[in-house]
Amino acid sequence: MTRLRLAVIGVGHLGQHHARILASFPDVELVGVVDANPHQAALIASRLGTTPYEHYEPLIGRVDAVSVVTPTIFHHEVASAFLQAGVPTLVEKPICRTLAEADELIALAQKAGVPLQVGHIERFNPAFEELIKRPIRPKFIEAERHGPFTGRSIDIGAVLDLMIHDLDLLLALVGSRVARVAAVGAAVFGGYEDMVNTRLEFENGCIAHVTASRITRHPKRRLRVWAPEGYAGIDFVTRKLTLVQQSEELRQYGLRADQLDVEAKARLKDEVFGRYLQVLNLDADRKFDQLTAELRHFIHCVRTGETPRVDGHAGRNALELAERVLAALQAHSWDGTATGPHGPQPPPPAGWLFPPMRLVQSEAA
């Protein structure tokens, strides 16, 4: 099999892993890495035995596909340059900064007839893959994505940085359009929201509560789904899926707890999980991580021309919903009045929750 010539544009925190994984594929030749910071390009190139570039232009015409992992504000410029040249492109999430930019990328990919994939990596989390193939019709969902502040991706807020992962997952899982959006969020360290909560009402009756924070001490990434078919819980970090469903006995005969005698009620506590509700814990972990799975899928689509699992339209739909969350967040009133503070800048604190602690110099550093 001929090796596909690939390049990665933007080899910072995440892009260096795209480059490392692509370089490890036997059917891929990593012909170059590009970074606006020449030291970073040189560092990653020397590590992987490839050529560093400071600009992507020389690679147009010399690659069979690219992965674009620059900050979001540059996705459109870089991806459109390659798509215009007919090069299959994987662009990190969010697809672009605006819907108009996303539309342009989709149109360019369509015109060239080449795959455009968007890096919504959790779709390749094996726990989510296990869930979505089951006949579940979600009616209430809770999604939480919390992490500590890293100082990265500060060209966007927590909605486009983190929450968009869950918005994409919900759109894939629920399979319905969103009718109403309410949101509240706060900018703590910069100009964009660092934490946000939204309530989504889908046209098919499903309701979702989604929280994202990039200022939480303890990381957490999980999804909980209630459906007529049962309950599903995913821990994206450990890649574990828990499924709970009614037993055949419960489905067939039901259970009237109010009609049980004292003894039967006493037994119930021990019988709920087992006799009435059955639990399946699936350890969906596998030998390779989801970034490897996502990149393998992209290479497969480049070779076959298949539509990627997360194509430009899916990336655009997630961005569109993210923009609706951002609009709801901007419209949120902190004191319930039309004239009071609105949007992600909260009002000044009314007081201290506890007496402020004075740090000595070494602790503050």
Contacting residues toward ligand NAD, per CB under 6 A: 9-10, 12-15, 34-37, 40, 69-72, 74, 78, 92-93, 119, 121, 152-153
User: Nearest approach, Cβ of 74 to ligand NAD (angstroms)?
Assistant: 4
Nearer to ligand NAD, 124 or 202 (CB): 124
User: Nearest approach, Cβ of 65 to ligand NAD (angstroms)?
Assistant: 17
User: Nearest approach, Cβ of 250 to ligand NAD (angstroms)?
Assistant: 39
CA dist., res. 244 & res. 232, Å (int):
6
Nearer to ligand NAD, 64 or 161 (CB): 161
* Residues 313/318/322/328 CA torsion (nearest 10 deg): 90
Nearer to ligand NAD, 17 or 275 (CB): 17
Cα 35 to Cα 44, 102, 317: the distances in Å are 10, 23, 29
User: Nearest approach, Cβ of 224 to ligand NAD (angstroms)?
Assistant: 21
Residue nearest to ligand NAD (CB): 12
Nearer to ligand NAD, 117 or 245 (CB): 117
The residue assigned the tokens 């110099």 is: 361
Amino acid at 63: V
**At residue 229, what are phi and psi to the nearest 5 degrees?**
-80, -20
Q: Which residues contact residue 238 at a Cβ distance below 8 angstroms, ignoring those fewer than 6 apart?
A: 285
**At residue 139, what are phi and psi to the nearest 5 degrees?**
-120, -25
Nearer to ligand NAD, 121 or 174 (CB): 121
CA atoms within 13 A on the CB side of 275: 10
Nearer to ligand NAD, 37 or 281 (CB): 37
**DSSP letter at 125?**
-
User: Nearest approach, Cβ of 119 to ligand NAD (angstroms)?
Assistant: 4
- Residue 306 tokens read as 């298949």
264 three-class SS = helix
User: Nearest approach, Cβ of 292 to ligand NAD (angstroms)?
Assistant: 13
